[in-house]
Structure 1
Amino acid sequence: MKALAIENEVPLELLKVTATGTTEEKIIDDTGKRLACFAESLNITFSFKTAMVTQIKDINEDMFEIEDGEVVAIYSPLVLSHLVGQPDCLEALIRVLKNLNPCVMVVTEYEANQSCPIFMERFSEALSFYGSPLENFEAVWSRVIRTGLLLKHHTSVEV
């Protein structure tokens, strides 16, 4: 947001965020409130919408209410790896993301090779994989404690 507020070549008329999820609606809404406060401090006109679905495959383009001329950016944190075992959900999500025609898409996933035939290598990869979220959250631990269920949710799905 800071970069958008500073860059004046093309003035930002509105920063619109649509967050989607299948659970934890309150956490998503709380995040929207924090983003709105931050945007206000930067004098950015901001809109936040939560779009909850029962399953990822229920997401569709209409949920995002994109108007002609809007620039679309997608941020996908730790989502795709959870869908590997659900190819119908993964395909549906990728189709929607493609149809949204984003200018940029940021995907963050943990990298690990947990199918190595040698036990110690597989164990080392798994240890690194499951330890990474804890290392990442260490810097913001006080906020993570309040939203500890989010950490538990992301790691328990894989374990």
Structure 2
Amino acid sequence: MKPELVWGDLLDQPVEVIVNAWNRNVIPWWLLLPQGVSGAIKKQAGYAPFQELASVGPMPLGSAVLTTPGQLPYKAIIHVAGINLLWRASEFSIRESVRSAMLLVNEKGFASVAFPVIGAGSGSFPTERALEIMCQAFAELETSAQVRIVRYKKNHEQD
């Protein structure tokens, strides 16, 4: 399948579920400084999704966990372990994060999902390469869900 690529804010997408590019959940969420996608989610959703996520414990790199959306208007948030303990993303972590998230989307029957560019923020992975890896991973998957990848720009304008 081929995802739709859009510019904008992940939290403004007309979808049922969003993906949060997270870490391996080894460091307690309350010790982390909110930044990027996770910071925006914490600010708008509140702490409930992250408290649920904390109860899961350490996540294998590339795995995914489903939580409630807190105060966000979505059905759920899928948190993916897209970066390792050194705060770096890899081809493996990006590819497996896409696969794990889509497994949950398909299992739960969500009709639509929005992804950030996994690994391109806190994971310090080059954005264009991360997009390429994500699109390759999506090409190997089947789903009936509408999938979009959201590229963020503060002014919401394309280059």
Give the number of the structure whose residues are more often helix, by fraction. 1
The two structures have a TM-score, normalised by structure 1, of: 0.31
TM-score of the aligned structures, taking structure 2 as reference length: 0.31
Larger strand percent: 2
Relative contact order: is structure 1 or structure 2 higher (C-alpha 8 Å, sep ≥ 6)? Answer: 2
